[in-house]
Amino acid sequence: MKLQVDGSGPAEPFLGARDLFQTEHDLARPVTVRIREDPDERTRVSHDAAGHCLTISRQAATSAMARELALHEFGHMHHAEARHPSHTLSTEEAIFLALSGRSVERRTLSQCYQIANHARDIYADDIWIDVAPAEKLVDFLEASLAAAVADRPDGPTAWDRVSGGTDPDITAVNAAFALAIVERHGLVDTDHRLYDLAHAAATDAPQLGVNEFRERFRTLARDPTESEFRGELVELTRTYASRTMPAGD
């Protein structure tokens, strides 16, 4: 696995991730990591016949999660090379099938894309969690979910209002995704704080069905056909839209 790191930032997290990744997997195409100064630069991956490119902000490259972020993106690269259905199927196609004939708000459409990305992330995490400790991933999921919900108030109405300014519907889906990841790989016990946070998120979006989304993410087939994966994406996005759009849309 050939790896090149460009830009002002540490190479060690990416080299360390490569060494761990190669204990179980490999990439046929070379990987270029491009570190950018812009702290708002989102971690993203592109693929072509010549190789893979991981673009990442310097802030992310120097964070405690840098190695795990690299491993996660290597997982995406692996599935892209293997032409896994989760990484070859057009997201636009699945969302068009799911929402055909509906009038959908831009916000809902954007969130449907996020749900599709969650499904792809499940498969990327399947690759790297088997080769490296996942404690930092659990901490990251917990911190991200905690940031999206307010502290639990005191008193008998403890769960009456728990979400802050974030959208409660997509926060609930994100909670379902977090639980699906940790349960799929047996990363936490059932008394972990993630369950309290997920309960908080579910309380603010009772119509969504957090447990249903958790089960759908958790049980995604390890080796689906393209038709099977398309069906999963269609059902996930159609269910989300039907439960979050105003009646009559």
| Tens digit of each residue's pLDDT (9 = 90 or more) over 31-65 | 999 999 887 777 889 999 899 999 999 999 999 99
Q: Are residues 205 and 104 part of one domain?
A: yes
Q: Which of 82, 105, 137 is the last residue of a domain?
A: 82
Nearest to 114 by CA among 54, 44, 173: 173
Q: Are residues 93 and 73 part of one domain?
A: no
Q: Are residues 154 and 57 part of one domain?
A: no
What residues make up the domain containing 139? 86-244
Q: Are residues 97 and 167 part of one domain?
A: yes
Per-residue pLDDT band at 158 (split at 50, 70, 90): very low
Q: How far apart are CA 242 and CA 228, in angstroms?
A: 21
Q: Are residues 227 and 114 part of one domain?
A: yes
pLDDT given at position 246: 62
Q: Are residues 214 and 190 part of one domain?
A: yes
Q: Which of 25, 59, 82 is the last residue of a domain?
A: 82
Domains held by the chain: number: 2
Q: Are residues 19 and 133 part of one domain?
A: no
pLDDT given at position 120: 95
Q: Is the pLDDT of residue 178 over 90?
A: yes
Higher model confidence: residue 249 or residue 241? 241
Section 200-216 average pLDDT = 94
pLDDT given at position 150: 66
For the stretch 111-120, pLDDT in tens is 999 999 999 9
Section 116-145 average pLDDT = 94
Section 128-133 average pLDDT = 92
Per-residue pLDDT band at 155 (split at 50, 70, 90): very low
Q: Are residues 76 and 91 part of one domain?
A: no
Inside any domain, residue 249: no
Most confidently predicted of 92-96, 151-155, 178-182: 178-182
Query: How many C-beta atoms surround the C-beta of residue 145 within 10 A?
Result: 22
Q: Are residues 118 and 33 part of one domain?
A: no
Inside any domain, residue 157: yes
Section 2-15 average pLDDT = 94
Distance (Å) of CA 8 to CA 43, 62, 96, 154: 16, 10, 41, 47
pLDDT given at position 28: 96
Per-residue pLDDT band at 152 (split at 50, 70, 90): very low
pLDDT given at position 39: 76
- Going by their DSSP bridges, the two strands 31-36 and 51-57 should be labelled as parallel
Inside any domain, residue 39: yes
Q: Are residues 191 and 108 part of one domain?
A: yes
Mean pLDDT of the chain: 90
Q: How far apart are CA 152 and CA 161, in angstroms?
A: 8
Q: Is the pLDDT of residue 74 over 70?
A: yes
Q: Are residues 176 and 101 part of one domain?
A: yes
Nearest to 28 by CA among 44, 46, 49, 11: 49
Nearest to 75 by CA among 94, 91, 52, 92: 52
Per-residue pLDDT band at 87 (split at 50, 70, 90): very high
pLDDT given at position 156: 38
What is the percent of the chain with per-residue pLDDT over 70, rounded to a whole number?
92
51-80 core/surface letters (b: 16 or more CB in 10 A; e: else): bbbbbbbbbbbebebbbbbbbbbbbbbbbb
Residue 49, classified by CB atoms within 10 Å of its CB into exposed (0-12), middle (13-18) or buried (19+), is exposed
Higher model confidence: residue 186 or residue 150? 186
Q: Which of 67, 82, 97 is the last residue of a domain?
A: 82
Q: How far apart are CA 32 and CA 52, in angstroms?
A: 6
